[in-house]
Amino acid sequence: MATKKITELAAYVTTADTDVVAIVDIATTTTKKITWSNIKANLKTYFDTQYSASGGFVPTSRTINSKALSADVTLTATDLSLGNVNNTSDATKNSATATLTGKRVTKRVGTEATNTSLSLDSDAYDIYTVTALNTAMTVNAPTGTPANGQPLLIRILDNGTARALTWNAIFRVVGATLPTTTVINKTNYIGCVYNTADSKWDVIASVQQV
């Protein structure tokens, strides 16, 4: 082969793993050959070590929930322990009809000992109790924005003396009689249902302890 400068050699673009390159072994000062596949393997080992030491990449030997990182990973809700989660919006869930089976709905209960003017919040309470009424009391129109058919139960007990009761006109008697006074040491229950058509709390039950 005629002597040529390196710049005069033919271009070689696509290398094969079996191609060889001359290399000087400094330890023995001997010229040897090395294959292209060995060069690639040595470079990979070198750069893998460099990146691993610097935290520059995640080794493909790592996994996410047993999924290898050797390719793009698609994670499911189960992979993230979110198997019971879906993408239904809160607005859709809140407007959906739900059926409760074997469940107890805990009532919202408000209480106070006594008051001359009772103004309970129908948005906050389903049951309201007066435990030791020591004065005449006016039961005002409940505050809040009740839903049609919403129930409300009022329980009244005096402190050992009969007390007068006055009811706001929003309490409309339907098959019951509102008490106008307590009976000493007797508990009164007044059951109401809200009627949006007439904007009234229809009193459908009024009973007294015997």
Q: Would you state the pLDDT for residue 12?
A: 87
Inside any domain, residue 156: yes
Same domain, 41 and 119: no
State the chain's maximal CA–CA distance in angstroms: 129
86 — pLDDT class (breaks 50, 70, 90): confident
pLDDT, one tens digit per residue, over 87-121 is 888 888 888 888 889 999 999 999 999 999 999 99
What is the total count of domains within the chain?
2
- Give residue 1's pLDDT: 58
What pLDDT is attached to residue 31? 92
Confidence of residue 200 (pLDDT cuts 50, 70, 90): very high
Q: How confident is the model at residue 7 (pLDDT cuts 50, 70, 90)?
A: confident
> Which residue segment(s) compose the domain that 199 sits in?
109-208
Same domain, 113 and 203: yes
pLDDT digits (tens, 9 = 90+) for 28-49: 999 999 999 999 999 888 887 7
The CA-based angle 193-197-201, given to 5 degrees, is: 25
Do the domain assignments include residue 85? Answer: no
Q: Are both 33 and 115 inside the same structural domain?
A: no
**What average pLDDT does the structure give for the chain?**
91
Asked whether residue 200 is domain-assigned, the answer is yes
Rounded Cα distance between 105 and 93, Å, is: 19
pLDDT of residue 4 exceeding 90, the answer is no
Q: Which of 11-20, 62-71, 106-115, 165-174 has the lowest mean pLDDT?
A: 62-71
- What SS3 state is found at 43? helix
Burial class of 58 by CB neighbour count within 10 A (0 to 12, 13 to 18, 19+): exposed
- What is the residue type of 202? D
**114 lies in the same domain as 37:** no
Domain assignment present for 203: yes
Is 186 part of a structural domain of the chain? yes
Mind listing the pLDDT tens digit for each residue in 144-180? 999 999 999 999 999 999 999 999 999 999 989 999 9
Asked, for residue 80, whether it belongs to a domain, the answer is no
Examine the pLDDT at 56 and tell me if it is beyond 70.
Answer: no
Taking the C-alpha atoms of residue 23 and residue 14, their distance in angstroms, rounded to an integer, is 20
In a domain, 21, yes or no: yes
pLDDT in tens, 120-139: 999 999 999 999 999 999 99
**Nearest alpha carbon to residue 133 among 158, 103, 112:** 158
Is residue 83, in this structure, part of any structural domain at all? Answer: no
Is there a single domain that holds both residue 38 and residue 113?
no
Closest CA to 36 of 52, 4, 7, 13: 13
**Quick check: 76 pLDDT over 80?**
yes
